[in-house]
């Protein structure tokens, strides 16, 4: 049973895409009108795969806002997303079957990027916990903790292939997201974390779901899709990434019309990112 769980976890975790690694900035972390336009530009650059300029923007944000945990955690997101892009992880998310996934080449992560990524996450968590010690309802701090756990889950699952570690961090990310939603129920971007968790666990075999339920982790595939749709339709910074995740889910569900609609929308919005055109072409050439 443990072997079956480990194998299935590896297969289903692949659907995450970059999960929260592309999670960018939550509109719930701060009012949209209060955010610097520089952060908007930074995240648009990430979606367009312009990582160097995005890193520069996030670094400048940290210098101007030294107590804010969002600066380092967003920079960590950019580092992970750039590594995903370099290693071809995002393309792998669109594999329609687990046999194709199992035949993929072994990844060779950059140790320098790994160290920078880990350092930025630790810095963000330190800043976030300091703010939570003053105010347990600090939205920026709650978001930073949500994102940090999600980023750690991504690295563990999709680069290190440590599936049990990834599931533990996924559970933590969902718990932080639920706290954030309790503070701000209109945080549509925060639904991404719980939507991913619901979808992943809900996609597993019934015996595996039962084991996870005993450990306090539950899931519902349909509910997960619905939460991702909330972010796709009403989210701010995460709406494009929610559409990426939905496209992945639709491809795996063999729902070609909805997958095509999502990918065409993304291609039009981010013409500098070749992933969407590539996956559209692969979708059209398939059966």
What is the DSSP-derived secondary structure letter of residue 186? T
Residue 30 has pLDDT above 80, yes or no: no
What is the DSSP-derived secondary structure letter of residue 110? -
Residue 218 has pLDDT above 70, yes or no: no
pLDDT given for residue 79 in this prediction = 92
* Residues 6+ positions from 98 with CB-CB distance below 8 Å: 11
Whole-number Å distance between alpha carbons of 157 and 166: 5
Q: Which residue has the higher pLDDT, 143 or 72?
A: 72
pLDDT given for residue 203 in this prediction = 58
What is the DSSP-derived secondary structure letter of residue 97? S
Q: Mean of the pLDDT values across residues 268-274?
A: 88
Q: Are 173 and 197 in contact (CB under 8 A)?
A: yes
Assign 219 a pLDDT band (cuts: 50, 70, 90).
low
Tell me the HSE value of 161 on the side-chain side, using a 13 A CA sphere.
14
Q: Are 242 and 251 in contact (CB under 8 A)?
A: no
pLDDT given for residue 133 in this prediction = 97
Q: Mean of the pLDDT values across residues 114-131?
A: 96
Q: Mean of the pLDDT values across residues 264-277?
A: 88
pLDDT given for residue 95 in this prediction = 52
**Total of domains in the chain:** 1
Identity of the highest mean pLDDT range in 68-72, 121-125, 221-225 = 121-125
**Domain of residue 80, residue span:** 2-285
Which CATH number belongs to the domain containing residue 156 in this structure?
1.25.40.10
First to last CA, the chain: 34
Count other Cβ atoms within 10 Å, centred on residue 72.
Answer: 25
Whole-number Å distance between alpha carbons of 73 and 151: 9
What is the DSSP-derived secondary structure letter of residue 35? S
pLDDT given for residue 141 in this prediction = 93
pLDDT given for residue 197 in this prediction = 65
Identity of the highest mean pLDDT range in 12-21, 57-66, 125-134, 192-201 = 125-134
pLDDT given for residue 273 in this prediction = 86
Residue 20 has pLDDT above 50, yes or no: no
Beta strands in 184-281 (DSSP E): none
Q: Helix 191-202 to helix 221-234 angle, to the nearest 10 degrees? A: 150
Whole-number Å distance between alpha carbons of 128 and 132: 6
Mean pLDDT rounded to a whole number for the chain = 76
User: What pLDDT, in 10s, does the model give residues 157-175?
Assistant: 778 877 778 778 888 888 8
Which pair of structure tokens corresponds to residue 84?
């995903």
Residue 23 has pLDDT above 60, yes or no: no
Q: Mean of the pLDDT values across residues 3-7?
A: 38
**Burial of 103 (C-beta count, 10 Å sphere; 0-12/13-18/19+):** exposed
Tell me the HSE value of 69 on the side-chain side, using a 13 A CA sphere.
26
Count other Cβ atoms within 10 Å, centred on residue 8.
Answer: 18
Tell me the HSE value of 19 on the side-chain side, using a 13 A CA sphere.
36
Whole-number Å distance between alpha carbons of 53 and 158: 25
SS3 state at 23:
coil
What is the DSSP-derived secondary structure letter of residue 96? S
Q: Which residue has the higher pLDDT, 111 or 235?
A: 111
In this structure, of 196-200, 217-221, 239-243, the range with the lowest mean pLDDT score is 217-221
User: What pLDDT, in 10s, does the model give residues 57-114?
Assistant: 999 989 999 999 989 998 998 898 899 888 887 665 555 555 554 555 567 889 999 9
- Distance of CA 278 to CAs 92, 144, 219, 282, Å? 12, 32, 31, 6
- Return the percentage of the chain with pLDDT > 90, whole number: 22
């Amino acid at each position: 049973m443990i072997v079956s769980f480990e194998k299935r976890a590896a297969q289903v975790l692949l659907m995450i895409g970059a999960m929260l690694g592309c999670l960018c900035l939550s509109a719930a972390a701060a009012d949209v009108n209060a955010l610097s336009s520089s952060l908007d530009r930074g995240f648009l650059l990430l979606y367009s795969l312009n990582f160097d300029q995005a890193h520069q923007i996030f670094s400048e944000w940290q210098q101007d806002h030294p107590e804010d945990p969002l600066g380092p955690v967003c920079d960590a997101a950019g580092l992970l997303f750039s590594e995903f892009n370099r290693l071809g992880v995002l393309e792998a998310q669109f594999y329609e079957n687990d046999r194709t996934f199992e035949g993929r080449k072994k990844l060779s992560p950059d140790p320098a990027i790994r160290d920078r990524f880990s350092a930025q996450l630790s810095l963000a968590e330190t800043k976030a916990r300091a703010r939570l010690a003053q105010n347990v309802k600090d939205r920026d701090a709650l978001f930073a903790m949500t994102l940090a756990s999600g980023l750690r889950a991504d690295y563990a699952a999709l680069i290190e292939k440590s599936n049990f570690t990834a599931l533990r961090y996924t559970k933590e990310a969902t718990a932080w997201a639920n706290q954030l939603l309790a503070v701000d129920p209109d945080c549509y971007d925060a639904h991404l974390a719980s939507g991913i968790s619901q979808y992943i666990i809900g996609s597993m075999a019934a015996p595996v779901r039962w084991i996870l339920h005993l450990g306090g982790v539950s899931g519902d595939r349909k509910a997960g899709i619905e939460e991702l749709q909330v972010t796709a339709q009403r989210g701010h910074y995460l709406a494009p990434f929610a559409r990426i995740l939905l496209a992945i889910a639709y491809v795996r569900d063999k729902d070609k019309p909805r997958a095509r609609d999502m990918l065409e929308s993304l291609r039009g919005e981010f013409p500098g990112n070749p992933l969407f055109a590539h996956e559209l072409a692969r979708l059209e050439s398939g059966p």
